[in-house]
């Protein structure tokens, strides 16, 4: 029965233990952590500042108490460890920031000093090489010793700095050695150049002279060797020297100098040969011989010379002949002048003497002295009055004045020698004009570049002289038309101002005339623009083409 009655059965369960989120703890931890981090940052900042201050003070200490390279060398020499000289590891301040900074300053200072010292020594080496006191091997050894010695000085103290110093010194050493090498080879080249120059200037001319004087020789096979062939063998010697120097510009200059020296020596040798008495006795005949190349032992050499050198020989010959002629002529002229002056002196005396034997003696002396230097009429006019009104002694006095002082102003003569008659004044005027003409002619010759006393002028000289003479005559005529006389000095001055224009115009005219002449020979028309190919087509020879081109250059240059 009891089993059929309903019964309440228990269903309640104890609730779960609530799970709490401890956010406050987490936040507290985060706050604490942030606080700790902030404090850490603050302390780091403060330590950083303090460390910086300590480092600065250490650097200052190191700078104020530097270790010198000399101290390191002394310590090494006395067996002490150089490390003891420095702060840091074994210094008073130990491995503190201050100590390390002081050590860094000391090491940097001594490294800098060592580098400067090494650079100074390297500079001295360069100077030594430049002066020729140090040769290349010695310089190389010195640099290597420096490199090893200086970098090893710091290796025990600060290997890193030592390595850096060695690298820096090695760079310096490389550039120094490069410079030393360049300087050394440059110096060697300069010495070679001096040798080459000396050979070209002092030895070569003598050798060429000797070869030329020796004339043609025979080789062992019986063949003929000309002086030029022997001279040509000198060129490879020079080229060998120049190849060692390796300076293209200098080589070109030297080869050019060689050619010019050879050319000059050839010209000098032949010029010297033709200046002998054999040629100078008859300059005109000698010139004909020279032009024909008939120079005896020098004939072959002369004919082998280029046209310019042949022309130079002829010019030298004419100048030498002119010089000799001038000397002779001047001596003759001086002698004549002296004789004339003596005649005038005697004439002045003659006219003051009374008739008698003494006067006859003077008269005879005048005739004797005047013979050969004055004409009979001139002598006669000196001793005999042609007009009763004329005072002969006064005219003689005026002539003496003109001859001795060179006065050209007739009024000046009239003032200084009063009492001259109009006829006498005209004669004196003529005398002045003659003297002026001589001076003018001499001045024009000088202006035209004609050597004093040159017998035979070259074509150019002749053309210049002619152009200047024409202009001088024009200037002279203008002056005479204005004043009745002219001063050669003034005419020459005006002529000098117009010289370039006159000679250039004349040269161009002459060049054009020459081109016409050449053209007429071949029946063609030539002008300054006719090309070399066209000239060759017209069958002109090479020397003719050169001459035509020279004329063309004259015309074109003038434009």
Partner 1 sequence: MLWVAVASVALQAYSSYSQGQQEKKLYGQQAEQARFQGRVQATQYEQQANRMLRASLETQAMARARAAAGGVDPFSGSAGFVQDLSAKEGLEDFKIMQDNAELSRISGATQGSIYEDAGRYARRRGLLGAATAIGQGVASYGKL
Stretch in the footprint of partner 1 (CB under 8 A) among 11-19, 150-158, 424-432, 443-451? 11-19
Give the nearer residue to partner 1 in terms of CB position, either 34 or 217.
34
Neighbours of 419 (CB within 10 A): 13
Min CB(38)–partner 1 separation in Å: 5
**Residue 38, interface with partner 1 (CB under 8 A)?**
yes
**Residue 423, interface with partner 1 (CB under 8 A)?**
no
**Residue 43, interface with partner 1 (CB under 8 A)?**
no
Stretch in the footprint of partner 1 (CB under 8 A) among 2-10, 128-136, 211-219, 240-248? 2-10
Give the nearer residue to partner 1 in terms of CB position, either 13 or 481.
13
**Residue 28, interface with partner 1 (CB under 8 A)?**
yes
**Residue 40, interface with partner 1 (CB under 8 A)?**
no
Residue 160 and residue 134 in contact, taking contact as beta carbons nearer than 8 Å: no
CA dihedral 237, 242, 245, 248 (to 10 degrees): -170
Nearest to 551 by CA among 536, 521, 529: 529
Residue 465, token pair as written in the block: 């002289």
Distance of alpha carbon 343 from the chain centroid: 57
Min CB(59)–partner 1 separation in Å: 18
Residue 128, token pair as written in the block: 């030594």
Touching partner 1, residues 85-124 (CB under 8 A)? none
Neighbours of 140 (CB within 10 A): 15
CA distance 87 to 224: 90
**Residue 34, interface with partner 1 (CB under 8 A)?**
yes
CA distance 467 to 507: 9
By CB under 8 A, the count of residues binding partner 1 is 32
Stretch in the footprint of partner 1 (CB under 8 A) among 34-42, 60-68, 360-368, 375-383? 34-42
**Residue 523, interface with partner 1 (CB under 8 A)?**
no
**Residue 27, interface with partner 1 (CB under 8 A)?**
yes
Describe the chain by its helix, strand, coil percentages, rounded to 5. 75, 0, 20
- Choosing from 15, 79, 459, 497, the residue that interacts with partner 1 (CB under 8 A) is 15
Residue 112 and residue 118 in contact, taking contact as beta carbons nearer than 8 Å: no
Residue 493, token pair as written in the block: 């001055």
Min CB(53)–partner 1 separation in Å: 12
To which H or E segment does residue 188 belong? helix 159-198
Stretch in the footprint of partner 1 (CB under 8 A) among 7-15, 184-192, 246-254, 549-557? 7-15
Give the nearer residue to partner 1 in terms of CB position, either 42 or 385.
42
Stretch in the footprint of partner 1 (CB under 8 A) among 38-46, 217-225, 348-356, 374-382? 38-46
Residue 413, token pair as written in the block: 């003569």
**Residue 371, interface with partner 1 (CB under 8 A)?**
no
**Residue 2, interface with partner 1 (CB under 8 A)?**
yes
**Residue 372, interface with partner 1 (CB under 8 A)?**
no
Which DSSP state fits 85? G
Stretch in the footprint of partner 1 (CB under 8 A) among 16-24, 260-268, 425-433, 532-540? 16-24
Residue 482, token pair as written in the block: 């204005």
**Residue 53, interface with partner 1 (CB under 8 A)?**
no
Helix axis angle, 488-522 relative to 459-483, nearest 10°?
A: 140
Residue 366 and residue 343 in contact, taking contact as beta carbons nearer than 8 Å: yes
**Residue 41, interface with partner 1 (CB under 8 A)?**
yes
CA distance 472 to 254: 46
Give the nearer residue to partner 1 in terms of CB position, either 4 or 78.
4
Helix axis angle, 422-447 relative to 459-483, nearest 10°?
A: 150
Nearest to 143 by CA among 110, 162, 119: 119
Q: How would DSSP label each residue in 225-255?
A: E-HHHHHHTHHHHHHHHHHHHT-HHHHHHHH
Give the nearer residue to partner 1 in terms of CB position, either 15 or 221.
15
Stretch in the footprint of partner 1 (CB under 8 A) among 33-41, 91-99, 226-234, 264-272? 33-41
**Residue 411, interface with partner 1 (CB under 8 A)?**
no
**Residue 14, interface with partner 1 (CB under 8 A)?**
yes
**Residue 50, interface with partner 1 (CB under 8 A)?**
no
Chain residues in the site for partner 1 (CB under 8 A): 1-2, 4-15, 18, 20-24, 26-28, 30-31, 34-35, 38, 41-42, 45, 49
């Amino acid at each position: 029965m009891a089993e059929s009655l309903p019964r309440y059965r228990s269903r309640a369960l104890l609730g779960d233990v609530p799970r709490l989120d401890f956010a406050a703890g987490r936040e507290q931890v985060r706050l604490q952590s942030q606080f700790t981090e902030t404090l850490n940052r603050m302390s780091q900042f403060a330590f950083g500042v303090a460390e910086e201050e300590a480092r600065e003070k250490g650097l200052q200490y190191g700078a104020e108490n530097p270790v010198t390279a000399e101290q390191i060398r002394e310590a090494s020499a006395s067996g002490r460890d150089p490390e003891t000289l420095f702060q840091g590891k074994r210094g008073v301040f130990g491995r503190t920031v201050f100590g390390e900074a002081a050590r860094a300053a000391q090491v940097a200072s001594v490294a800098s000093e060592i580098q400067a010292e090494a650079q100074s020594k390297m500079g001295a080496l360069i100077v030594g090489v430049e002066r020729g006191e140090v040769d290349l091997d010695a310089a190389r050894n010195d640099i290597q010793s420096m490199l090893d010695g200086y970098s090893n000085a710091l290796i025990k103290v600060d290997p890193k700095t030592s390595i850096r110093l060695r690298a820096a010194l090695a760079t310096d050493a490389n550039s120094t050695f490069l410079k030393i090498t360049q300087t050394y080879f440059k110096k060697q080249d300069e010495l070679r150049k001096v040798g080459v120059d000396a050979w070209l200037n002092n030895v070569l001319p003598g050798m060429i002279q000797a070869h030329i004087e020796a004339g043609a020789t025979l080789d062992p096979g019986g063949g003929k060797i000309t002086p030029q062939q022997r001279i040509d063998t000198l060129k490879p010697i020079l080229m060998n020297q120049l190849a060692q120097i390796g300076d293209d510009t200098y080589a070109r200059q030297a080869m050019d100098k060689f050619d010019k020296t050879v050319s000059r020596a050839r010209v000098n040798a032949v010029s010297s040969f033709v200046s002998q008495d054999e040629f100078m006795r008859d300059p005109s005949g000698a010139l004909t011989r020279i032009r024909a190349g008939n120079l005896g032992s020098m004939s072959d050499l002369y004919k082998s010379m280029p046209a310019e050198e042949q022309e130079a020989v002829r010019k030298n010959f004419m100048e030498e002949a002119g010089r000799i002629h001038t000397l002779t002529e001047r001596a003759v002229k001086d002698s004549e002048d002296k004789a004339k002056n003596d005649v005038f002196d005697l004439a002045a005396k003659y006219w003051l003497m009374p008739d008698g034997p003494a006067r006859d003696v003077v008269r005879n002396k005048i005739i004797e002295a005047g013979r050969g230097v004055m004409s009979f009429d001139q002598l006669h006019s000196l001793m005999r009055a042609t007009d009763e009104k004329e005072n002969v002694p006064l005219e003689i006095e005026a002539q003496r004045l003109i001859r001795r002082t060179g006065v050209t102003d007739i009024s000046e003569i009239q003032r200084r020698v009063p009492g001259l008659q109009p006829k006498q004044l005209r004669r004196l005027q003529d005398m002045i004009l003659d003297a002026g003409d001589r001076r003018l002619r001499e001045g024009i010759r000088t202006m035209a570049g004609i050597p004093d006393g040159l017998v035979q002028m070259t074509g150019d000289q002749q053309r210049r002289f002619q152009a200047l003479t024409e202009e001088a005559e024009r200037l002279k005529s203008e002056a005479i038309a204005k004043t009745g006389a002219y001063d050669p000095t003034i005419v020459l001055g005006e002529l000098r101002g117009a010289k370039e224009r006159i000679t250039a115009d004349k040269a161009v005219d002459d060049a054009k005339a020459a081109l016409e002449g050449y053209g007429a020979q071949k029946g063609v028309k030539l002008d300054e623009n006719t090309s070399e190919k066209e000239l060759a087509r017209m069958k002109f020879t090479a020397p003719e083409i050169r001459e035509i081109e020279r004329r063309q250059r004259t015309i074109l240059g003038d434009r």
